[in-house]
Amino acid sequence: MRFGALTALSEVSLRAEPGTVHAVIGPNGAGKSTLFNVISGVYSASAGSVRLGGTTLTGLRPHRITALGVGRAFQNMAASPNESVEENIMLGRHLLTRSGFVSAGLKLPWAVREERLHRARVVEIAEFVGLGHVLHLPLGTLSYGDRKRVEVARALATEPRVLLLDEPVAGMNAEETRRMSEIVLAVRESLGITVLLVEHDMSMIMSVADRISVLDFGRLIADGTPAQIQNDPAVIAAYLGTTAGTDTGAASVRTTASSGHISAGPAHTTAPSQQ
Amino acid sequence: MFGAAIGAIGLNILVGTTGQLSLGHAFFLAVGGISYCWLSGESNDAGAHPYVGLGLPPLLGMVLAVGISGLAGLLFSPIGARLKGLYLGIASLGMVFVGIHVFNSVDQVSGGHNGRTVPEFSLFGFTFDDSDPELYVLNVEFEKFERLWYLGLVLAVGCYLFARATLNGRPGRALRAVRDSEIAASVNGVNVTSYRAKAFLLSSMYAGLSGVLFALAIGSVAPESFAIEISVQYLAMIVLGGLGSVGGACAGAAFVTALPYVLGEYAASIPGLSEPGTGGVSYSEAARYAYGAAVILVIIFWPTGLAGIARSLKLVSMRRAARNAPT
């Protein structure tokens, strides 16, 4: 993926196993959001391919990719603040419903029935993420944590096979983060959906992820289980830098990293979470 | 007035719900009004400015005029779907001027600068003019304006219900998503380009019907009847009424069209107002200042318009209900 002369992602190859929570981490500007935009078709990759099962998604327009089973919840909430929670989630049903201007405008019986069936499913999804009691309130009146869950509910409403979550707990307090973690695990357990997760909150990632890929400057620098990633020297170097800085708290780790002698130990395993 | 409500509903679907600014609404009104005259009017060979008419039944003429407006909208929709917001506003502005020029050129159809008379509307032998058959309801003689008023009412209610159902359903959701976030809309499966084009098409058809009713009400149309002021007036209606609200569009249309008459009624008792031609500020001019001022006040103090006032009242009661409900 390139923007002019800038290569935002290069030679990133990762594979999310079905039914797992796969986290993508990396410092700011590493290319995580770009990766999501390439997967969901907002950007088209200049080289390489995106595949879902046996289907190639590369080059398809976003609504086609959604139709093939990729749901995405945005980092910066992209829902309509004046619409009710229910309406916002209903948007996710767009591709699963058929009624157009004429059939909806004339309230044809099948269009009315379709609307009713899908509203019932939206209520189920809202209850699944714990939003059942605020369904009819305008989105803008909800708390930050609730709005983030509306994003997730809307992505789930597309009935995806793969769910892309872009920083679902960014800016959340501990309680909200815990609830979101529970939802992510429930999505995997009870719905069997593969979750691809971009997040900065390390303790959240360590508690939900089955596998972690680490990006830095648009390159994949590590890929493995949470335990492997925590002890990976390249990861620690990426997060804390390889040159000496002014931050005395991290200076010792930096020095160690540049000399390439990182070993497993409590001081180092907790280091990434200082980000 | 009901014609204006229909036109305002149409413009609000495009501007309020889809977030696409259009200054070209007058053009589509012109297409509707003039096509109706051409389709259902009689030829006039006499005089220095002859024009042709196909003499079709008025109902067919009305339906086809709406169809032609839709076609005009369809022709412009590739541009309408690809330009966003303000850019479309500028492009559609050009459409009004080009439209007036084109209509003046095809004077066989439009009657040129002098315009042409509008054929009376009739439905299954019942004409919407002053007599034939004579009609009394509760001892009130139903003349042309009473009859047109009820025709307009029926059509406006139909258009209102259709717009409401569409906007409450799947298409409306998709259009609002396009307005609020194009990327989010597309990732949720909405074909953004296609929906923008469809909104443009629907809006132009509403404008076409509005143009037919406008022509019927004033009795004689020329291309200059559909100048840029008309587009601006329609924008004022939807801003006053509330962007994106069907009921709001109707309220705004009622306000803007009724204001000159209300001021005219009380012209004698309002200091500074006078009959046109007697010097001083005429009431139609005063009405224009008044709704200009109203638009500014609404934008500053109540950007959601008349519909927003109704909505916030509803919201207060819903919040109260949610607070009382167990979570």
Which domains, from first to last, does chain A contain?
Answer: 2-76+142-230 (3.40.50.300)
B-chain CB neighbours of A90 within 8 Å are 173
Query: Is any Cβ of chain B less than 8 angstroms from the Cβ of A51?
Result: no
Q: Quick one: pLDDT band at residue B127, thresholds 50, 70, 90?
A: low
Q: How many residues does chain B have?
A: 327
- Mean predicted lDDT score pLDDT of chain A: 79
Residue A11 in this model has a pLDDT that exceeds 50: yes
* Mean pLDDT of the A89-97 span: 90
Q: How far apart are CA B225 and CA A171, in angstroms?
A: 56
Give, as one character, the DSSP assignment of residue A265.
-
Locate A21 and state its tokens.
């929570």
Q: How far apart are CA B280 and CA B161, in angstroms?
A: 43
In the 3-class helix/strand/coil scheme, how is chain B assigned residue by residue? CHHHHHHHHHHHHHHHHCCCCCCCHHHHHHHHHHHHHHHHCCCECCCCCCECCCCCCHHHHHHHHHHHHHHHHHHHHHHHHHCCHHHHHHHHHHHHHHHHHHHHHCHHHHCHHHCEECCCCEECCEECCCCCCCCEECCEECCHHHHHHHHHHHHHHHHHHHHHHHHHCHHHHHHHHHHHCHHHHHHCCCCHHHHHHHHHHHHHHHHHHHHHHHHHHHCEECHHHHCHHHHHHHHHHHHHHCCCCHHHHHHHHHHHHHHHHHHHHCHHHCCCEECCCCCCEEHHHHHHHHHHHHHHHHHHHCCCHHHHHHHHHHHHHHHHHHHHCCC
Residue B318 in this model has a pLDDT that exceeds 80: no
Chain B 33-62, residues with CB within 8 Å of chain A CB atoms: none
Question: In a 10 Å sphere around its CB, with 0-12 CB exposed, 13-18 middle and 19+ buried, how is residue A243 labelled?
Answer: exposed
Q: Judge: A67–B171 Cβ closer than 8 Å, yes or no.
A: no
Test the A interface: residue of B180, B182, B188, B324 with most A CBs within 10 Å: B188
Residue A260 in this model has a pLDDT that exceeds 90: no
For tokens 């309130």, what's the residue? A137
Q: Judge: B184–A74 Cβ closer than 8 Å, yes or no.
A: yes
- For B102-112, what is each residue's pLDDT tens digit? 988 887 787 77
Contacts A–B by Cβ distance under 8 A: 106
**Which candidate from A79, A93, A115 shows the least CB-CB separation from B184?**
A79
Asked if omega into A81 is within 30° of 0 (cis), the reply is no
- For B44-90, what is each residue's pLDDT tens digit? 776 666 777 787 888 888 999 999 999 999 998 888 888 887 888 88
B-chain CB neighbours of A137 within 8 Å are 318-319, 322
* Mean pLDDT of the B249-253 span: 91
- For A169-191, what is each residue's pLDDT tens digit? 888 889 999 999 999 999 998 88
**Which candidate from B180, B188, B319 shows the least CB-CB separation from A94?**
B188
Query: Is any Cβ of chain B less than 8 angstroms from the Cβ of A66?
Result: yes
**Which candidate from B170, B181, B202 shows the least CB-CB separation from A99?**
B170
pLDDT at A164: 92
Q: How far apart are CA A261 and CA A264, in angstroms?
A: 10
For tokens 């009431």, what's the residue? B283
Residue A249 in this model has a pLDDT that exceeds 50: no
| Nearby residues of A95 by Cβ (< 8 Å), 6 or more positions away | A63, A66, A67, A158, B188, B189
- Predicted interface score ipTM higher than 0.85: no
Contact (Cβ atoms closer than 8 angstroms) between residue B3 and residue B232 = no
Q: How far apart are CA A249 and CA A252, in angstroms?
A: 7
Q: How far apart are CA A94 and CA B171, in angstroms?
A: 9
| Nearby residues of B50 by Cβ (< 8 Å), 6 or more positions away | B43, B44, B108
